[in-house]
Amino acid sequence: MDALITQLPVGLAIGAVLLLAALGLNFTFGQMGVINMAHGEFIMIGAYTAYVLHAWIGVNPAYSLIVALPVAFAVTGTLGWLLELGLIRHFYGRPLDTLLLTFGIGMILQQAARDTFGAPNVDVPAPPWLTEGITLGDIRIHYARLFILTLALTAVAAIAYYLNRSRQGRQMRAVIHNRDLAAVTGINTRRVDATTFFIGSGLAGIAGVALTLTGPTGPTLGTNYIVDAFLVVVIGGLGQLRGTVIAAFALGMLNATVEAWTDASLAKLIAFTAIVALLQARPQGLFTVKTRALT
Amino acid sequence: MTTPHLTLTNLNAGYGRAQVLFDINLTITTGTIACVMGRNGVGKTTLLNTIAGLITPTHGTITHNGTDITTQPPHTRIHGGIAYAPQGHETFAPLTVAENLALAHHATKRGPTHLIDHALDRFPRLTPLLNRRAGLLSGGQAQQLAIARALVARPTLLILDEPTEGIQPSIVEEIETAITDIAAEGITVLLVEQYLDVALRLADTVTVLDAGRIIHSGNRADLTDTQAHALMAI
């Protein structure tokens, strides 16, 4: 129990990072069903955006992180929008082709990062106001972790508002539920697809900026998170925001606590085994939309 | 009353290589109820989907109010005054009844929200269900919502695909009354209906399809019930 409590901030921080990485996938994969393997590279580009703002443009580290968030959202959102418009749109209904295509795009982006920034990792210094922490009893809470957690929860709240309360969010849910019906209700489904991809990819950028607080930034940064992020979306139930949040923190806590008792590799093994067992019992994930239909 | 509202000329359509509709020529007059009939699998739904823009015809043209809409995407056709309630009383299950109606209203950007109230007046059963998710409605309620949603777009042409399919008789009566009232307001109705009795009571014109071709087209008044039954038995 003590281990659980001391590992709580670590688990929540891992969960928050996973959540940020998965929130974008919740749109593109969970809602649209597109397996975008380049999503990890969008995360990486988000992180490098923070680096460029600090190291190339020379934005003051005290607030470069805050500036980087909207800039990274715009940069990766635009990249995602272009990817949907130029390529993915022509492969709808062909999931395996889309998977290969986006995997290739991911590799191109990784190589582009290597050519631009070099193969070694780079560091984005955290703002001075995030380098400290507070101690509560046995628990040490870093401000950086607290910031990531706040960022993740703020993103969830904003997405929940967008999906449930805004006109565009409802249109998005309508298109995802039944594309043809949405089209004959007067919704421009292509525009909605483009918007969905823009937001989903933009969220990857925000996740990337947050990751600069947890360690160095390199061309393969996104690859380390992409599988876990896909798992979070699958466990949560495709397109289910509530499920994604719960799955991210559950996986984060599982990783942190098991890792405290064993080691990182074994923790991963145990987490994956638990996921396989869960998906055997509930292939549809934790949450689904309840209807009168028998499916 | 004889202005052509919708004209299909030499229309061929299908799914990939499987051609379903062959050389369809049909004119629907403004303000009438046009009923398309035929057995299962003869191409009725394909015809409606083609008119709504969900299927692109391989040949021929579709003219709506004098405009060639053959290559228009579905949402442009809806904005142009065509509304469609597809088969299977389809609704947006995760959204509430109110959200379903608001969605159609916003998507078509047509005037004030009293259109939603007007649609609800026509189907009063929906009013107490406004906050219920559409996926939890019964078949009859969902069909009424589907038609109400189509009406919110303030159409000049309302396309209904089997609105009475699998629905209890009392609600079938309500839907029948609603269709009559809608037509009385001057909205042209294109109806696919399996129940011959309902179709013959509502229709001004009857078109019968068989194997993707029109085998009969004419005024309902010129057709005796016996002849209609004979056509449907083909």
**How far is B94 from chain A, CA to nearest CA, in Å?**
7
Tell whether the model's pLDDT for residue B110 goes beyond 70: no
CA angle B93, B94, B96 (to 5 degrees): 85
Q: What is the pLDDT of residues B49-69, one digit of tens each?
A: 999 999 999 999 999 999 999
CA angle B190, B192, B198 (to 5 degrees): 100
C-alpha R_g of chain A: 19
The packing angle between helices A223-236 and A264-281, to 10°, is 30
Q: ipTM score here?
A: 0.92
> What's B102's DSSP letter?
H
Bridge-partner residues for B158, per DSSP? B83, B189
Q: Is B106 on the interface with A (CB under 8 A)?
A: yes
Distance CA B168, CA A82 (A): 49
pTM, to two decimals: 0.85
Bridge-partner residues for B216, per DSSP? B208
Closest CA to B198 of B219, B156, B228, B218: B228
- Tokens standing for B96? 């509430």
Q: What average pLDDT score do residues B139-166 get?
A: 93
Q: Compute CA A157 distance to the chain's CA centroid, rounded to the nearest angstrom.
A: 15
**Chain A residues within 8 A of B52 when measuring between CB atoms:** 184
Return mean pLDDT, chain B.
91
Q: What average pLDDT score do residues B97-119 get?
A: 83
Point out the residue among B52, B106, B136 whose CB comes nearest to the CB of A291.
Answer: B136
Of A211-220, A262-271, B71-80, B83-92, minimum mean pLDDT range: A262-271
Point out the residue among A184, A185, A289 whose CB comes nearest to the CB of B54.
Answer: A184
Q: Please report the pLDDT score of residue A295 as a whole number.
A: 44
Q: Please report the pLDDT score of residue B164 as a whole number.
A: 92
Q: What average pLDDT score do residues B75-100 get?
A: 93
Under 8 Å between Cβ of B114 and B101? no
- The tens place of each residue's pLDDT in chain A, 295 residues long, gives 666 777 888 889 889 989 998 998 888 887 788 888 999 999 999 999 999 998 888 788 888 889 999 999 999 999 999 999 999 989 887 888 999 999 999 999 999 999 999 999 999 888 888 888 888 877 778 888 899 999 999 999 999 999 988 999 999 989 888 889 999 999 999 999 999 999 999 999 999 999 999 889 999 999 888 888 888 988 888 778 899 999 999 988 888 888 878 887 887 888 888 888 888 888 878 777 665 555 4
State the residue for tokens 């035929």. Answer: B38
**Chain A residues within 8 A of B137 when measuring between CB atoms:** 292
**What sign does the CA torsion over A66, A70, A75, A76 have?**
positive
Percent of chain B with pLDDT over 90: 74
Residue A131 belongs to what H/E stretch?
none
CB contact (8 A) between residue B149 and residue A185? yes
Distance CA A231, CA A226 (A): 9
Closest CA to B125 of B99, B105, B97, B104: B97
Q: Please report the pLDDT score of residue A1 as a whole number.
A: 62
Q: Compute CA B234 distance to the chain's CA centroid, rounded to the nearest angstrom.
A: 24
**Chain A residues within 8 A of B74 when measuring between CB atoms:** 180, 183-184
**How far is A155 from chain B, CA to nearest CA, in Å?**
22
Confidence of residue B111 (pLDDT cuts 50, 70, 90): low
Distance CA A250, CA A268 (A): 13
Q: In what order do the strands lie in the sheet with B157-161?
A: B82-85, B157-161, B188-192, B33-37, B205-210, B213-219
Confidence of residue B127 (pLDDT cuts 50, 70, 90): very high
Q: In what order do the strands lie in the sheet with B67-68?
A: B18-29, B4-15, B59-64, B67-68
- CB count within 10 Å of CB A102 equals 23
Q: What is the pLDDT of residues B25-45, one digit of tens each?
A: 999 999 999 999 998 899 999
Q: Report the relative pairing of strands A133-136 and A139-142 from DSSP bridges.
A: antiparallel
